[in-house]
Amino acid sequence: MSINQDGVSKMMDLPRKKKRLSSFRIIILGFAGLIIAGALILMLPVSSAGGKVTPFNETLFTSTSAVCVTGLVLHDTATYWSAFGQSVILILIQIGGLGVITVAVSFALLSGRKITLMQRSTMQESISAPKVGGIVRLTSFVLKGTFLFEMLGALVMMPVFIRDFGPKGIWMSFFHSVSAFCNAGFDIMGADTAPYASLTHYAGSPTVNITVMLLIVIGGIGFLTWDDIFVNRHHIKRYRMQSKVILTATFFLIIIPAALFFFFEFSGCPAGERILKSLFQSVTPRTAGFNTADITQMTGAGRAVTVVMMLIGGSPGSTAGGMKTTTVAVLFAAVIASFKRKDDAQLFGRRIEKKAVRNAAAILMMYVTLFFGGAILISALENLPIGSCLYETASAVGTVGLTEGITPGLGAVSQCVLMALMFFGRVGGLTLIYAALSGTNNNISRYPQERITVG
């Protein structure tokens, strides 16, 4: 599949022609347009292994899952889709992981076009950059880093997959490397192992486990954190506060769940495989969706920890979804400040602005509301246990892709619920709110203040 440069040019001219379109609306329209285009292509007979037309609702779900780098599927990717269909899905994953605006700006740069201030502003919002200045350099850095890591990941896994699958292992290496880096969780193992098997047959393989985990983490820490590491190297004191928060939160969100999984799950596995499974299961919920363990065999406590990890997700400006590590860190700092009766939340010797605390609280409320609301609706419509539905909606809104196996059997309305949650989780709650409310007048009078007791 190719992208017409004239079409990209027109897309980049869109903000200039329609001044009323905000950056947030452009981002939303970009993702929505890509999803619909992907769904239409996947409907073609050449996209399915059986050479038949796939119903639009099924291709729309698949395209949404791919663009939103989630991994929830109605059909096993390896057995249902042809090589062409798998290629389309991989392209959707790559564009969705990098961001539609990032890809559009990249094509504009390659064609020699000048990037306007509006386009730079849209790019800034797309990757959560702190300022417009240097955004073109950062875009080039992101693209080079992405393709470098994906290439290295594929080359490392290639000997293992070629050994097991022959020449087909080359394609499998690239597919899983891109899927892992983009935190998508799509796999094509089903044709040679078992449908929906993910990476369970490689639970004891250090090469596959460590490579996939590193790709997930690198893709999930965010492009600005890459930039900090690249520029400042080992001088951690020079890092932005956000990068310090992301790296610290990522470390603890891997180690603590891994320890819990090691001591309370996978007790029947050999020591080496048990360590790999515990680490992998702590990394993949944020927000990759691969699994090396049978999810349905985990204890209720293990699944509950996984749900929390799925809701937290990755970091801002990354290929991951979820509430984001910084959101949780800001809320945690606000709670500590409240306990200590301090006026301001603090992290790494820096005061956090009150707007960030308000936004973090709003994001938490939106995610929890959608998480529970979607699960209750699906449970009522499908007559399924609420626990399984909560797992599925957490996976969707966190753009994870882990599942207890109920997604393929859901009805059309329940599928629409999951699609809406995936879209919300990838685009971001505040982006949707700002897009809906952009242009409204915020210069309103203030109401009288009165105290209210909480807690």
pLDDT at 297: 86
Question: Is the model more confident about 335 or about 12?
Answer: 335
Is residue 455 domain-resident? no
pLDDT at 194: 76
Torsion on CA atoms 343, 344, 348, 349, rounded to nearest 10: -60
Q: Is the pLDDT of residue 110 over 70?
A: no
Is residue 63 domain-resident? yes
Tokens of 168: 């087909």
pLDDT at 451: 74
Asked whether 120 and 135 are in contact (CB, 8 A), the reply is yes
Alpha carbon distance 15, 6 (integer Å): 16
DSSP per-residue string spanning 226-283: HHHHHHHTT-GGGS-HHHHHHHHHHHHHHHHHHHHHHHHS-TTS-HHHHHHHHHHHHH
C-alpha separations of 279 from 149, 190, 285 in Å: 20, 23, 11
Tokens of 119: 């386009």
Q: Quick one: pLDDT band at residue 138, thresholds 50, 70, 90?
A: confident
pLDDT at 428: 72
Most confidently predicted of 19-23, 98-102, 304-308, 341-345:
304-308
pLDDT at 335: 94
3-class DSSP state of 350: strand
Question: Is the model more confident about 429 or about 335?
Answer: 335
Question: Residue 433, exposed/middle/buried by CB under 10 A (0-12, 13-18, 19+)?
Answer: middle
Least confident of 194-198, 296-300, 340-344, 437-441: 437-441
Tokens of 61: 């779900």
Q: Is the pLDDT of residue 6 over 60?
A: no
Is residue 452 domain-resident? no
C-alpha separations of 57 from 41, 63, 405 in Å: 13, 10, 19
Least confident of 80-94, 252-266, 346-360, 427-441: 427-441
Asked whether 57 and 449 are in contact (CB, 8 A), the reply is no
Structural domain count, the chain = 1
Is residue 447 domain-resident? no
Tokens of 420: 């809406």
Alpha carbon distance 319, 314 (integer Å): 8
Is residue 386 domain-resident? yes
Q: Quick one: pLDDT band at residue 309, thresholds 50, 70, 90?
A: very high
pLDDT at 296: 83
pLDDT at 441: 53
C-alpha separations of 17 from 4, 14, 72, 92, 339 in Å: 20, 5, 37, 27, 51
**Tens-digit pLDDT profile for residues 242-286:** 999 999 999 999 999 999 999 999 888 888 899 999 999 999 998
pTM over cut 0.95: no
Question: Averaged over 79-102, what is the pLDDT?
Answer: 89
Least confident of 102-116, 177-191, 257-271: 102-116
Instruction: Give the rounded percent of residues in the chain with a pLDDT score beyond 70.
Output: 83
Query: Please, what's the b/e burial string for 286-306 (b: 16 or more CB within 10 A of its CB; e: otherwise)?
Result: bbbbbbbbebeebeeebbebb
DSSP per-residue string spanning 158-216: HHHHHHHHTTHHHHHHHHHHHHHHTT------TTTS-TT-TTGGGTT-HHHHHHHHHHH
Q: Is the pLDDT of residue 92 over 50?
A: yes
Q: How high is the mean pLDDT of the chain?
A: 85
Question: Averaged over 296-315, what is the pLDDT?
Answer: 91
**What does the DSSP 8-state code read for residue 7?**
H
Question: Is the model more confident about 110 or about 49?
Answer: 49
**Tens-digit pLDDT profile for residues 27-73:** 788 888 999 999 999 999 999 999 999 999 999 999 999 999 998 99
Is residue 17 domain-resident? yes
Is residue 453 domain-resident? no
206 contact partners, CB below 8 Å, separation of at least 6: 272, 276
Alpha carbon distance 372, 363 (integer Å): 14
Is residue 443 domain-resident? no
pLDDT at 391: 95
Long-range contacts, stretch 120-123, CB < 8 angstroms, 24+ apart: 121/23, 122/15, 122/23, 122/26, 122/27
Alpha carbon distance 42, 88 (integer Å): 7
Amino acid at residue number 301? A
Asked whether 401 and 393 are in contact (CB, 8 A), the reply is no
Cα-to-chain-centroid distance, residue 148:
20
* Domain extent for 210: 5-434
Question: Averaged over 308-324, what is the pLDDT?
Answer: 88
First-to-last C-alpha distance (Å) of the chain: 56
Q: Is the pLDDT of residue 157 over 60?
A: yes
β-pairing, 350-351 vs 346-347, is: antiparallel
Asked whether 36 and 149 are in contact (CB, 8 A), the reply is no
pLDDT at 434: 61
